Chain A
Amino acid sequence: MKAILLLKNIGGLQEGNYIFESGKLNIIESANSAGKTSIVKALIGILSIPRNGVFEQRIFVEAQKLGIKTDPRNPYEGFVNVHADQGSVELEFDGKKERYVVKQSGDILSAPENGDERFLLAGVLSNNSRVLRQLRGLDELEPDDFKWAVEELSYAKRYSTESELLQTKKEDLVEKKVLIEKGLKQLGPLKQREVALEREIRILDSELSSLTNKFRESGKIAEDRDDSLKRINTLKKEILNKTREKENITRQQLAPKLKEIKDAQIQKSQLETSLEETKQEIIAITHQDLRKEEIEKEINKLMDQRSTVDGLLNLYVVAETSIRKSEGDKVPCPLCEHGRIDYQSIVNNITRYRKQREELNARILQLSQEKQNIAIQLTRAENKAKELRERIAELTEKIWMIERQLKGPEEAVRAIDNLIADYNYKLEKEQRIYDELNRKISKADEEVNREYDEKSKKRSALLEELGAIRRDIDELSSVEVYGKVLQLESAMYVCEKMINILEDRIKYLERRAEEEREEATKRFNENISTLMRTLGFTEFRTIKLTGAPSYRLYVERYDPEKREYKTQDVGTLSTSEKLAIALILQVALKETYMKKLPFLILDDVLEDFDPERCDQVIKYLKEKAKKEGWFIIATKLVTELGPPKIRCL
């Protein structure tokens, strides 16, 4: 059977195609840095990367040591070629084809189907593999501490892991059970307290109800007070309405009439004043009657004088006519008739009497006019007085009429005033009632309120406590067991049952782990004995693991001087002996734990054996490969330059 390995950008190689044969020792030969280790890396990688691509932490360290997980501190020794973005490996054997593609960053694009991470521990022997590191004292573990081999390569670890997991679950359940027990203990007193609180609250409710009734009593007074207030408001409204009504009457009816009366009275007063003046004037004119008489007397006197003058004048006119008729110089004096008077004297007398007459006429006329004027003035004054009296009488009539018209509205206003006064009286009375009721309510409410508040507060506190207790009861009454909320009793049943089952399974798994360890140890020791015989390790009588719990590797070495075998510490063996024991251990591990995976890789190991032992090892490996049908792959340093070559032995 052949195994075909294709690789691209792995380690120092950009590309390669290699064929290995089963049942043979396949030796990869090349000079230094020509790609031997890159081929080995590719093989280890594709055989060990798990299907999900994730190593467990303890194995991840091994993967880094063997170069299939790049150590960020040394990218030039990384799995993917440092110049490429990604690397790929393909391995075809036994009709199966595995593929592994990984990016430079370590992200896996394609993982093999049947990779087994244990191959890193059991299938590879190199200067960086676990076995050799440990034997050489380069590992954290003591050189002889091989517990990991039985634990990690057998199923013991997995049984133990399951057992530990169940142990944790059991502990969780035990903890839960304790809580349930505690809850059950607490629940009783809490429920008692709940009942007591409920009773107390009921009593308080009853007391509060009584107080509410008292509130109702004071509420009756409050109703009366409210009624009183309503009445007060009604009265105020009535008063307001009446006041408005009064204002309307006053404004629309009284005020215009009153103004009219006032105007008429002013007018009347003015007329009366005028009348008084006129009366005074009449009196004054009447007083002028004396003057009138005087004027009449004077006129009479003047008329007498004028008659006299007229007489004299006639005499002289006659005399003048006589003279002219007689054409004499003189005529008898018409007055004295015994004297004689000349014409000129007559003419002069005529002129003088005429003048006197004119003066008398003028004076008479003047006096007559004066007399007439007085009469006119009197008449006028009397007419005016008459007119004034008439107008005054009219106004008096008018005022009387208006006063009569005012009587209606005035009576209405008086009625309204009376009504308002009545309302005001009632209002004051109602206000007193209201104040009294208010005072009573305040006093009653104050007392009831205080008591009500106290009881309410107490009730609130009790309710709060009850709420808290009920929450506690709720919290304690049920418990969640694996996502299911159960009553305490059920939860207790489930927990106890589960704890019993888990205890049983834990015991079983621990026993199975132990059996597995014993079996693994037994198989390992059997294999190692066979190997020792085959490889001719005569200097050691025994190389084997002790049993539980330490699984230490011990060797018994022959002491030629004392001619006896004695136990020797693995760490004190020579380098060559350590390498030999490492090979025996590695093959035994492979034989014991990974027999079905037909690959065993030895990198940079053969050169370290002395030539005689190397020949023995090669011979053994060839026979082992042939017997088991394995692909045993080893590297060998050669001086010939060029790409790596595979030599099958």
Chain B
Amino acid sequence: MERLSKEFLEKLATDKQLSIQHIQARIEEELKLLAEELAKEATK
């Protein structure tokens, strides 16, 4: 699954139950996972 995908960002923006803090936390988490995947790529 693509990390920090446009669909993911769309979903965050349009889910009115999510507060800005929630969005922030989810993006942080996603960036972490993205960094991990890229780090694996880099060390291959």
Contact = CB atoms under 8 A, between A and B. Distances in A.
Contact of A486 (B4, B9, B39): B39
B37 to A, nearest CB: 9
Contacts of B42: 486, 489-490, 493-494
Contacts of B3: 501
B27 A484 contact: no
Interface stretch (A156-164, A216-224, A324-332): A156-164
A440 interface: no
Contact of B13 (A155, A169, A501): A155
Interface in B9-25: 9-10, 12-14, 16-17, 19-20, 23-24
Interface in A448-491: 481-484, 486, 489-490
A494 B39 CA distance: 6
A51 B17 CA distance: 8
The secondary structure that dominates the B interface is helix
Contacts of B34: 482, 498, 501
Listed residue (B6, B12, B13, B36) with the most chain A CB atoms within 10 angstroms of its CB: B13
B20 A481 contact: no
For chain B, which range describes its interface: under 10, 10 to 19, 20 to 34, or 35 or more residues?
A: 20 to 34
Interface string A415-457: 0000000000000000000000000000000000000000000
B17 A165 contact: no
B4 A165 contact: no
A161 B16 contact: no
B25 to A, nearest CB: 11
Nearest to B6: A508
A483 B9 contact: no
Given A56-B20, A489-B42, A494 B35 contact: yes
Nearest to A480: B35
For chain A, which range describes its interface: under 10, 10 to 19, 20 to 34, or 35 or more residues?
A: 20 to 34
Contacts of B43: 490
A497 B13 contact: no
A130 to B, nearest CB: 19
B36 A509 contact: no
A50 interface: yes
A298 B29 CA distance: 166
A497 B20 contact: no
A508 B10 CA distance: 10
Nearest to A159: B13
Contact of A155 (B4, B14, B17): B14
Contact of A505 (B4, B14, B17, B20): B4
B9 A493 contact: no
A169 B29 CA distance: 12
A51 B15 CA distance: 13
A214 interface: no
A509 B43 CA distance: 31
A159 B32 CA distance: 21
Given A481-B39, A484-B35, A52 B19 contact: yes
A327 B17 CA distance: 207
A535 interface: no
Contacts of B36: 482, 484
Given A165-B27, A482-B32, A498-B31, 20 more contacts: A50-B19, A118-B16, A158-B14, A162-B9, A162-B23, A162-B27, A165-B23, A165-B24, A166-B27, A481-B35, A481-B39, A482-B31, A483-B35, A490-B42, A493-B41, A494-B42, A497-B41, A501-B4, A502-B4, A512-B10
**CB-CB nearest 8 A-B residue pairs:** A482-B35, A490-B42, A493-B42, A158-B13, A494-B38, A482-B32, A497-B38, A159-B13
